[in-house]
């Protein structure tokens, strides 16, 4: 039986545009044999491309909007606009160098693990301070009253940015910036980056796109990072395509990425320190000839649909022929690329069998016969936590959307943002 939604595609949806409405929906809670009953609330609506959230224990929530800026929602529901992109009005202060273009703009956000003592937060954004422009990881101090940020320090200032359009799908400037910012249990700061449609970036030892950086809060490499000789020592893993999801296994502590594939093969990968994810879209290698604008990432036949396995054979997401020691993905979305974006681990008894499972937000694409696939998947690991044992599509108590971010809240609920402008709270139980 199809689930009932209260979100119509027709004009009544306009009533939901209030800025901070909390909309309860217990009547829409699901029941089923294989899923957890869920309720949902709208935490914020009418946002402009919300990209990421971060929480304090009391429920205080930082959130970013790609072209607008950084804001904080306090536990009483009041929203304070903190740091605007460019000249965006209404923010306590602005980064005049920050801008948005295509997929680029203000993206990931995190609280410092010692926030209570140091008031530090971290935000990743595209900046024109350098030429060519770059993506930067900024550190701020958040005021005691949560009304403003100060002390901006760009602890990473050299993540590549795509300056010009190219002859590719989604080929505009600003493509593939990665963008997630997360701390692990050891207090190490992870930043995920993307290939910027540049064939040279993923396997480059020095260009910091297509990497997972592991750094301290000053931007310095963690001492035991072990990339190959000659690599920038901030590199934890390399050879990625465009990582927008990273989470840490609650038992093993392993960093695990969820990555958006080309026209095939979204991937989940348990990272290995120094590992190569095996993405190498350079032309004239691995059996390929020339490709449009020096990037084979959508080849062959980049303008039409074709069998996904034929695509994968030509331009593998993880190229084991060229890189036999590449990190093996533990999930490839049945060979589809549907816009896998973010990842988190569910936590709490209320989640039942899903307590400790990974959730992955999928935005949906629908190109060339690929099912659109907007959803949140629940990924359950095997007893050794080394492989995927089962995947269940979460039965959602609301209409699906472009699930850009999934973040576990301190209240045991899962928060998810969709590009369409809403942050939802999903709570187990009915």
Site for another protein in 394-423 (CB under 8 A): 399, 401-402, 404, 418-421
Stretch of 185-193, 203-211, 227-235, 296-304 contacting another protein, by CB under 8 A: 296-304
DSSP state of 125: E
CB 189 within 8 Å of CB 173: no
Least spacing, CB of residue 360 vs another protein, in Å = 17
Q: Which residues contact 101 (CB under 8 A, 6 or more apart)?
A: 126, 172, 173, 174
Q: Which residues contact 426 (CB under 8 A, 6 or more apart)?
A: 38, 39, 40, 394, 396, 397, 413, 414, 415, 416
Q: Which is nearer to another protein, 125 or 204 (CB)?
A: 125
Does 223 bind another protein (CB under 8 A)? Our answer is no
Site for another protein in 168-187 (CB under 8 A): 168-174
Distances (CA, A) of 37 to 15, 121, 216, 376, 378: 26, 34, 39, 14, 14
Does 368 bind another protein (CB under 8 A)? Our answer is yes
Q: Which of 10, 15, 33, 223 binds another protein (CB under 8 A)?
A: 10
Least spacing, CB of residue 66 vs another protein, in Å = 8
Kindly provide the residue ranges of all beta strands, DSSP E only, lying in 143-208, ordered along the sequence: 149-160, 181-183, 189-192
Stretch of 5-13, 80-88, 110-118, 350-358 contacting another protein, by CB under 8 A: 5-13
Size of the site for another protein (CB under 8 A): 38
CA dist 269 and 388 (Å) reads 10
Q: Which is nearer to another protein, 277 or 423 (CB)?
A: 423
Q: Which is nearer to another protein, 273 or 301 (CB)?
A: 301
Does 261 bind another protein (CB under 8 A)? Our answer is no
Q: Which of 36, 103, 242, 427 binds another protein (CB under 8 A)?
A: 103
Least spacing, CB of residue 14 vs another protein, in Å = 7
User: Residue-wise over 95-113: b if at least 16 C-beta within 10 A, else e?
Assistant: bebbbbbbbbbbbbbbbbb
Site for another protein in 372-391 (CB under 8 A): 372, 374
The separation between CA 403 and the C-alpha centre of its own chain, rounded to angstroms, equals 9
Least spacing, CB of residue 254 vs another protein, in Å = 29
Does 92 bind another protein (CB under 8 A)? Our answer is no
Least spacing, CB of residue 177 vs another protein, in Å = 11
Q: Which residues contact 263 (CB under 8 A, 6 or more apart)?
A: 169, 298, 302, 305, 306, 308, 311, 337, 367, 368, 370
Stretch of 32-40, 307-315, 317-325, 366-374 contacting another protein, by CB under 8 A: 366-374
Q: Which of 134, 192, 235, 302 binds another protein (CB under 8 A)?
A: 302
CB count, 10 Å around CB of 219?
18
User: Residue-wise over 394-422: b if at least 16 C-beta within 10 A, else e?
Assistant: bbbbbbbbbbbbbbbbeebbbbbbbbebb
Q: Which of 32, 305, 410, 429 binds another protein (CB under 8 A)?
A: 305
CA dist 375 and 361 (Å) reads 6
Give the interface with another protein as residue ranges (CB under 8 A). 7, 9-11, 13-14, 49, 66, 102-103, 165, 168-174, 302-305, 363-368, 372, 374, 399, 401-402, 404, 418-421
């Amino acid at each position: 039986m199809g689930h009932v939604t209260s979100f119509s595609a027709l004009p009544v949806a306009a009533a939901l545009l209030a800025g901070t409405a909390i909309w309860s929906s217990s009547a829409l809670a699901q029941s089923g044999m294989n899923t957890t009953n869920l309720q949902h609330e709208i935490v914020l609506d009418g946002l402009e491309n919300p990209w990421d959230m971060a929480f304090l224990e009391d429920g205080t929530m930082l959130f970013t909007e790609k072209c607008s800026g950084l804001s904080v929602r306090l536990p009483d529901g009041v929203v304070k606009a903190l740091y605007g992109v460019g000249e965006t009005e209404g923010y306590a202060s602005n980064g005049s160098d920050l801008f948005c273009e295509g997929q680029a703009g203000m993206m990931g956000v995190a609280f410092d693990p010692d926030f209570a003592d140091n008031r530090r937060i971290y935000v990743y954004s595209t900046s024109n301070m350098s030429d060519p422009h770059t993506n930067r990881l900024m550190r701020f101090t958040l005021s005691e009253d949560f009304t403003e940020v100060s002390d901006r320090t760009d602890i990473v200032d050299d993540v590549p940015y795509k300056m010009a359009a190219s002859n590719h799908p989604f080929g505009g400037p600003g493509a593939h910036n990665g963008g997630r910012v997360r701390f692990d249990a050891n207090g190490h700061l992870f930043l995920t980056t993307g290939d910027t449609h540049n064939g040279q970036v993923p396997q480059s030892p020095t260009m910091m796109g297509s990497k997972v950086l592991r750094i301290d809060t000053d931007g310095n490499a963690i001492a035991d990072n072990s990339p190959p000789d000659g690599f920038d020592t901030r590199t934890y893993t390399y050879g990625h395509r465009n990582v927008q999801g990273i989470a840490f296994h609650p038992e093993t502590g392993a960093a695990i990425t969820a990555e958006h594939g080309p026209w095939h093969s979204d991937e989940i990968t348990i990272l290995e320190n120094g590992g190569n994810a095996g993405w190498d879209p350079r032309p004239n290698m691995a059996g390929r000839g020339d490709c449009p604008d020096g990037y084979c990432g959508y080849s062959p036949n980049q303008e039409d649909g074709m069998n996904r396995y034929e695509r994968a054979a030509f331009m593998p997401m993880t190229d084991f022929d060229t890189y036999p020691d590449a990190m093996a993905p533990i999930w490839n979305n049945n060979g589809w690329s549907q816009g896998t974006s973010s990842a988190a681990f569910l936590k709490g008894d209320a989640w039942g069998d899903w307590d400790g499972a990974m959730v992955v937000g999928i935005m949906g694409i629908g190109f060339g016969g690929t099912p659109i696939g907007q959803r949140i998947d629940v990924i359950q690991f095997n007893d050794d936590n080394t492989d995927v044992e089962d995947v269940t599509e979460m039965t959602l108590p609301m209409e699906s959307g472009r699930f850009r971010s999934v973040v576990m809240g301190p209240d045991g609920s899962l928060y998810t943002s969709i590009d369409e402008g809403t942050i939802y709270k999903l709570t187990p139980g009915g």
